[in-house]
Structure 1
Amino acid sequence: MQLILISGLSGSGKSVALRVLEDSGYYCVDNLPPSMLADAIALYHEHGHSQIAISVDTRSAPTLAALPNAIKALRALDIDVRLLYLEASTDILVKRFSETRRRHPLSNGHLTVEECIRLEREMLEHVGELGHRIDTSHLSANALRGYVKLLAGADSSRMTVVFESFGFKHGIPLDADFVFDVRCLPNPYYEEALRPLTGRDQAICDFFAGEPEVQAMEDDIRTFLATWLPRFKQDNRSYVTIAIGCTGGQHRSVYLTERLAASLADEQVLIRHRQLGGRSGDH
């Protein structure tokens, strides 16, 4: 049996994630208290459901403290339990609530939306540490749908390494475990013919192939990952996110993200290009 738990901040895309899993054949439940997980899973199993997705968030605040033990107990029963934690920057969340004119679940007539978001972050802080964090600040709904499908289909017996390119001028990804700054490298943006291209185009690859600094940066990051990724495996981590950032997230970071992901042939790798609209694929 596979159980995917969806949690995170209000407005971060939990409903989108739950709907895409429902469309993929999962039996979905919105807002189930963690204290009811074991009984609910047993019931769904009796009715022949082998793929289940459940959202858990601050609407069940009084029972959130029970979530870690509930996950541990379910895994002891050989259930494949995964937790996807969705979040976004405060300004993006405020904008989303403003555009949809929805009321924040923690609103009590006295707190501003920003204060509600800050309170919700504090309430869910320990939940975010239990699973894979996904920063949806710059993800379209379609990109999030594709990413959730990839994560749901990943082999849970292997650690998943997520490579993410981004542009520093748009902010550092909230979900990154490691951030590498490659803004010091030569920038093809200043060559007019190369400016509209991305780090996946052959002309950009050829440009970087002639730059020793780029190769040196790639070698250094690869050496770092070769040294430390095995330690994360030993620590039973399910996901590690490596973020590579340049100024705009179009050339240098994209090129190195693709190169580094391709070099980990023995790992389960997912690729996201944040400024290019989401994901590139998996290896």
Structure 2
Amino acid sequence: MRLIIISGLSGSGKSVALNTLEDTGFDCIDNLPVDLLGAFGRHITELGEDAANQRYAVGIDARNQPEALARFPSILDGLRELGIHCEIVFLDADDQTLLTRFSETRRRHPLSDRDTSLSEAIQRERLLLEPLHERADLTVDTTRTTVHQLRDLVRERMVRAPFELSLSFESFGYKHGLPPDADFVFDARCLPNPHWEPELRQLTGRDEPVQAYLDQQPAIAEYFEQVRTFLANWIPSFQRENRSYLTVAIGCTGGQHRSVYLAERLGEHFRAERGPISIRHRELV
């Protein structure tokens, strides 16, 4: 059986993720007290064959007592000893984005009160949830992600068979910072840049003229082949360790041309070999 634990900062999209899983057939519980997680795990294992192929998801957040959140790692170990395939997905966003989202929705942060500002509540929440963040199998940064994009990401990465590795390729621009959820980061800034071709500047790596330009560059072909070989050699090792998620990020200066082109090519190559693959372009809206 499979259990996904959804956690993260208030305003980062936890409810969207949990609702999406419910829509795809997961049995979901929101705001489960951490101390009841072990009892829930024992209950579903006692169901035997009736639950063997079931999929469950629970939401755990900072509304729990701090002492209970600190006990989470040992509770998680107990669940895995029961034979439950547990995955922790942690949703995050930068502080300014969270502040803006609460301001726009006029919702109250669960940890804020007359003596605690919204900014202080966010920082306190980060500290409280650190035991879950440290054990996360997948961290999703929703700073630049819309609700629709988050729903698609959940469907692409989480709705799959247990023990099947979820592989994702993500392009990004270094001038906007590194993606916090990346397992491997490849730097493509050394490659020929279509930005300096006036007719290609406003296009992206998904457009045929840019692809044709990069297809003609020997350095691009060599770079692609070396990254492809590296991943082909090492992905099986992650699978043997029962890894649930693997995110490969490719960056260039602005995240518009080279990184997009390479993420698309790598994603399509491994999709043909492995089946469903997620491809995301962080800087393209």
TM-score by structure 2 length? 0.85
SS in 2 for 1:58: coil
Which residue is equivalent to 2:57? 53
Tell me how far 1:242 sits from its aligned partner: 1.3
Q: Aligned AA for 2:150?
A: L
SS in 1 for 2:63: helix
Q: Aligned AA for 2:278?
A: L
Which residue is equivalent to 1:280? none
Q: Aligned AA for 2:2?
A: Q
- The range that moved more, 131-140 or 50-59, is 50-59
Cα 1:110–1:223 shift into 2, 3 Å:
farther
1:63 equivalent among 60, 68, 73: 68
Please say if residues 79 and 86 of structure 2, whose CA atoms lie closer than 8 Å, have aligned partners that are also in contact.
yes
Following the alignment from structure 1 to structure 2, what is the Cα–Cα distance between the partners of residues 115 and 243? 32
Deviations 1:85-129 (A, max 9, x none): 111122212222222232222224344333332332222223123
Tell me how far 1:234 sits from its aligned partner: 4.6
Following the alignment from structure 1 to structure 2, what is the Cα–Cα distance between the partners of residues 241 and 75? 23
Q: Aligned AA for 1:225?
A: L
- The range that moved more, 242-251 or 191-200, is 191-200
Following the alignment from structure 1 to structure 2, what is the Cα–Cα distance between the partners of residues 2 and 227? 28
Tell me how far 1:11 sits from its aligned partner: 1.1
- The range that moved more, 228-237 or 18-27, is 228-237
SS in 2 for 1:59: coil
SS in 2 for 1:104: coil
Cα 1:178–1:276 shift into 2, 3 Å:
same
1:241 equivalent among 240, 247, 269: 247
Following the alignment from structure 1 to structure 2, what is the Cα–Cα distance between the partners of residues 252 and 52? 39
SS in 2 for 1:194: coil
Which residue is equivalent to 1:98? 103
Q: Sequence identity, in percent?
A: 47
Following the alignment from structure 2 to structure 1, what is the Cα–Cα distance between the partners of residues 43 and 164? 29
Please say if residues 91 and 139 of structure 2, whose CA atoms lie closer than 8 Å, have aligned partners that are also in contact.
yes
Following the alignment from structure 1 to structure 2, what is the Cα–Cα distance between the partners of residues 166 and 222? 18
Q: Aligned AA for 2:108?
A: R
- The range that moved more, 142-151 or 192-201, is 192-201
Which residue is equivalent to 2:283? 275
Q: Aligned AA for 2:72?
A: L
1:180 equivalent among 164, 186, 206: 186
Q: Aligned AA for 1:272?
A: R
TM-score by structure 1 length? 0.85
Q: Any gaps of 5 or more consecutive residues in structure 2?
A: none
1:159 equivalent among 157, 165, 174: 165
Please say if residues 161 and 267 of structure 1, whose CA atoms lie closer than 8 Å, have aligned partners that are also in contact.
no
SS in 1 for 2:87: strand
Tell me how far 1:43 sits from its aligned partner: 5.1
Please say if residues 189 and 251 of structure 2, whose CA atoms lie closer than 8 Å, have aligned partners that are also in contact.
yes
Following the alignment from structure 2 to structure 1, what is the Cα–Cα distance between the partners of residues 37 and 56? 11
Tell me how far 1:165 sits from its aligned partner: 0.8
Following the alignment from structure 2 to structure 1, what is the Cα–Cα distance between the partners of residues 23 and 160? 17
Cα 1:220–1:66 shift into 2, 3 Å:
same
Which residue is equivalent to 1:212? 218
Tell me how far 1:30 sits from its aligned partner: 1.3
Q: Following TM superposition, where does structure 1 have runs of at least 4 consecutive aligned residues deviating by more than 4 angstroms?
A: 41-46, 265-268
Tell me how far 1:18 sits from its aligned partner: 1.3
Tell me how far 1:32 sits from its aligned partner: 0.6
SS in 2 for 1:162: strand
Q: Any gaps of 5 or more consecutive residues in structure 1?
A: 278-283
Tell me how far 1:162 sits from its aligned partner: 1.6
1:74 pairs with 2:79: yes
Q: Aligned AA for 2:39?
A: D
